Amino acid sequence: MNKTIAMLGSLDTKGAEYAFLKECIEAHGHKTLLIDTGVLEPPVIPADVSRTEVAAAGGALLTDLVSKKDRGQAMAAMGLGAAVMLTQLYAQKKFDGVIALGGTGGTSVACTAMRALPLGVPKVMVSTCAGGDVSGYVGVKDIVMVPSIVDVAGINRISREVFARAAGAICGMVEAAIPPGSDKPLVVASMFGNTTPCVNAAKAIMEKAGYEVLVFHCTGGGGRTMESLVEAKLVAGVLDITTTEWADELVGGVFSAGPTRLEAAARTGTPAIVAPGCLDMVNFWAPETVPAKFKGRTFYQHNPNVTLMRTDVRECAQLGKILAEKLNGSTGPVTVLIPLRGVSMIDLPGKPFHLPQANIAIFENLKKHLRKDIPLIEMDCDVNAPAFSARCAETLLASMKDGQRARKDLT
């Protein structure tokens, strides 16, 4: 069955390249939908969706963008318009996948639009930026980045092969049939190496109860991706046992998930349990990358490339308050569970990060600032104790059951 592939890009400066890509896609037996985001010269090849329409979708006039000759402003406006346009066209079932070519500007516009699409929609970006840090372009979406090797500037012996294979990739992606599965309600969980026993045990309980559990590694991108799924209302519950990314956000570590971490479940009313897992640590890369201002602090070499720094009492007090403030915005059932004897594997008596006064600062400030109607359960064990993981899972199961009952009562 023929599919339609949206092609998003500047049909003036990259017109010849898009014409070649279009031929490659059509050679596979698929249709194309050309969306023009150019603002400089007239398009080299005709568009199915004009640049004027794209600009208008983002609330801008193309004539204004052209007359101001502000490339940065034009790129931002066309990116916003392309995101609106692509979302509308996909909702209308006008295409099945999307591909784009570009340098830094084109990649920014195209990826802005691609990020607006749901997970699972095939997305391929051939870019001069691919191969480096593309997190700013990809975000938490499933965009496949293909290095262009050479600049996107003509068809030559290198670009011809790269573009043709990229066309083959997007065609293969839209042709792929997803095997059926016994899909179960989803629960998401946050995990670090130092909370693995807890999360694995809780995961087993949830699975036995009929849920599929998606575990996210708390490396910044993991937390952001987990939050995006919750925001999209794709999950039934949240096991947020490992909130360590907030330590990196506060102190300046490398695994921050940003200032909105912990907001998705609160905002969407998704049942959640939250624990202060691994708030005893901030992450840096190899020892030589640790900022000089932290000289004299307590460190632990997790592996040759990751160095952990123990959070101090002052930082822990702030973290307790931050967690409470984030959870206070909850519109659904949320429960806080506190493991009084340690928040990670290395935060135990005789272990390198054992610092009871720092943990007390977390717990006391969390309790002090938490909304009074939010349940808080203190347990005389550490985070990886079987009793703690069981209580996390059982509490979430009960919250989800209560939530289902409440929704039925409303109907």
User: Which whole-number Å values give the CA distances from 51 to 12, 106, 275, in the listed order?
Assistant: 11, 14, 49
CATH number of domain containing 60: 3.40.50.12020
Do residues 155 and 197 share a domain? no
Do residues 13 and 155 share a domain? yes
Do residues 169 and 233 share a domain? no
Question: At 299, phi and psi to the nearest 5?
Answer: -120, 160
User: Which whole-number Å values give the CA distances from 330 to 195, 291, 406, 411, in the listed order?
Assistant: 24, 36, 16, 22
Q: Which of 154, 175, 196 is the endpoint of a domain? A: 175
Asked, for residue 180, whether it belongs to a domain, the answer is no
User: Which whole-number Å values give the CA distances from 306 to 223, 230, 284, 286, 309, in the listed order?
Assistant: 18, 28, 6, 5, 10
| Predicted pLDDT of residue 1 | 73
Do residues 190 and 170 share a domain? no
| Predicted pLDDT of residue 326 | 98
Q: Range of 382's domain?
A: 186-410
CATH number of domain containing 194: 3.40.50.12030
Q: Which of 114, 147, 175 is the endpoint of a domain? A: 175
Do residues 108 and 147 share a domain? yes
| Predicted pLDDT of residue 406 | 55
Angle between helices 157-175 and 15-27 (to 10 degrees): 50
Q: How far apart are CA 280 and CA 299, in angstroms?
A: 11
Do residues 342 and 399 share a domain? yes
Number of structural domains the chain divides into: 2
Tell me, yes or no, if the pTM score tops 0.85: no
| Predicted pLDDT of residue 313 | 98
Asked, for residue 181, whether it belongs to a domain, the answer is no
**Of all residues in the chain, what percent carry a pLDDT higher than 90?**
90
| Low-confidence spans in the chain with pLDDT less than 50 | 410-411
| Predicted pLDDT of residue 408 | 55
Do residues 256 and 133 share a domain? no
Do residues 31 and 151 share a domain? yes
Asked, for residue 40, whether it belongs to a domain, the answer is yes
For residue 174, give the 3-state DSSP assignment.
helix
Asked, for residue 320, whether it belongs to a domain, the answer is yes
Q: How far apart are CA 132 and CA 176, in angstroms?
A: 28
Do residues 327 and 366 share a domain? yes
Q: Which of 142, 175, 208 is the endpoint of a domain? A: 175
The single-letter code of the amino acid at 28 is: H
Beta bridge partners of 212: 186
For residue 296, give the 3-state DSSP assignment.
coil
> How many Cβ atoms are within 10 Å of 313's Cβ, its own excluded?
14
